[in-house]
Amino acid sequence: MERRMFARAAAAVLAAGIAGGAAAQEVTLRLVSAFAENGIYVQRLLPWVQKVNAEGKGVLQINFIGGPRAIPTFEVGNAVKTGVVDMALSTGAFYTNVMPEADFLKLTQVTVAEQRRNGAFAAINQVWNDKGNMQYLARMVENQPFHIYVNKPVSKPDLTGLKIRITPVYRDFFQALNANVITTAPGEVYTALERGVVDGYGWPIGGIFDLNWQEKTKYRVDPGFYDAEVSLVMNLPAYRKLTPAQRDFLQKHLLALEAENTFWTKYAADEAARQEKAGIQAIRFDAASSKAFVDQAYAVAWASAEKQSPEVAKRFRPLFAPK
């Protein structure tokens, strides 16, 4: 090629590159939720999305597609992994079909801020990148322990003879307590209770009113155990395609979202009071049994984690341990 022609061709390629770059300055990310749209998690996420969109003109926009009607709860993880959607609000228990490690995040006993400081967040991302083709973006729920809710009284930490709705969060622990377990998405809990298919269910301290489960709930077993993990995850190639400006913008807003997690402590107390008002009775054990109950919950879950993914469980455990 003659020198001048080459220069012209190079200029054309460069111009196209700049034009392409300019067009790529605003990206729109498709977001779905594995949790119901009218539930507390999505209700807290939507104002954040609005803020991102208001401040992200020309940089980054988020298009909220919807909840489990758009993509069924247990399929959301694969949708993120394969890039069917760019981003999702979910919990690890809903995508153990992508990697068993997803469910380990319920075992964190330090704040997400601390997880970012102590290397837990980076360690999580290494696994999420390698095994899930995902970027773990932000945890938007903290300080929401799980509980057992039942319609038959229990007097000790023993679920013998009871059919309990679960997700992977509760499976090993409730089985260790002799329950018969049935896995369902949150969207099927009400009907399962109504039809007597289950005698109870696992759920965090907050949110049972969102799907009217209080109508079908008599007791809550205390204390709670683990910490509900609800997070934003993103398809890894989509994340890597972001320009530095887009990534910085997103990161700033993800940290702002996490900074609002102080909300959950008061919400837990408010929801417990609301349950009491609705006639849901707390079943409490003595101090020694309560401690044994919580200790057993963690022991059973870590034993299961170490069996499912020994190397990752070993890496996570010291990083998730209380300070």
Among 62, 89, 91, 236, binds ligand 173 (CB under 6 A): 91
Q: Are 198 and 204 in contact (CB under 8 A)?
A: no
Q: What is the sign, positive or negative, of the torsion defined by CA atoms of 68, 73, 75, 78?
A: positive
Measured from the CB atom, the residue of 167 and 261 that comes closer to ligand 173 is: 167
β-sheet with 60-66: strand ranges across: 60-66, 27-33, 87-90, 230-235, 134-141
Q: How many residues bind ligand 173 (CB under 6 A)?
A: 10
Phi-psi region of 98 (alpha: psi -120 to 50; beta: other; left: phi over 0): alpha
- Only segment of 1-9, 150-158, 198-206, 249-257 that touches ligand 173 (CB under 6 A): 198-206
Q: Which is nearer to ligand 173, 169 or 198 (CB)?
A: 169
Q: DSSP state, 280?
A: P
**From 228, 232, 233, 234, residue interacting with ligand 173 (rule: CB under 6 A):** 228
Region near ligand 173 per CB under 6 A, out of 113-121, 196-204, 211-219, 314-322: 196-204
In Å, what is the CA distance from 144 to each residue of 113, 147, 148, 179?
16, 9, 13, 23
d(Cα 182, Cα 158) in Å, to the nearest integer?
A: 17
Cβ distance to ligand 173 smaller for residue 132 or 202: 202
Out of 121, 203, 226, 264, the residue judged to bind ligand 173 by CB under 6 A = 203
Of 291, 235, 206, nearest in space to 31 by CA: 235
Secondary structure, 3-state, 37-57: CCCHHHHHHHHHHHHHHHHCC
Q: Return the number of the residue (264 or 316) whose C-beta is nearest ligand 173.
A: 264
Instruction: Evaluate whether 78 touches 223 at the Cβ level (below 8 Å).
Output: no
Residue 77 near ligand 173 by CB under 6 A: no
Which of the ranges 62-70, 197-205, 290-298, 302-310 carries the binding residues for ligand 173, by CB under 6 A? Answer: 197-205
Q: Give least dist CB 237 to ligand 173, A.
A: 26
Is residue 202 involved in binding ligand 173 (CB under 6 A)? yes
Q: Which of 31, 89, 138, 169 binds ligand 173 (CB under 6 A)?
A: 169
223 upstream amide cis, omega within 30 of 0: yes
- The C-alpha angle with vertex 53 and arms to 51 and 57, in degrees rounded to 5, equals 125
Q: How far is the CB of 184 from ligand 173 (least distance, A)?
A: 8
Closest residue to ligand 173, based on beta-carbon distance: 167
Identify whether the C-beta of residue 196 lies closer than 8 Å to the C-beta of residue 260.
no
Instruction: Rule CB under 6 A: say whether 173 interacts with ligand 173.
Output: no
Query: Taking the complex as a whole, how short is the minimal distance between the CB of residue 188 and ligand 173, in angstroms?
Result: 10
Among 204, 217, 235, 293, binds ligand 173 (CB under 6 A): 204
Spatial separation of the C-alpha atoms in residues 177 and 83, rounded to whole Å: 39
Told to check if 143 binds ligand 173 by CB under 6 A, we report no
The answer to whether 100 contacts ligand 173 (rule: CB under 6 A) is no
Report the interface residues with ligand 173, using CB under 6 A: 91, 93, 167, 169, 186, 202-204, 228, 230
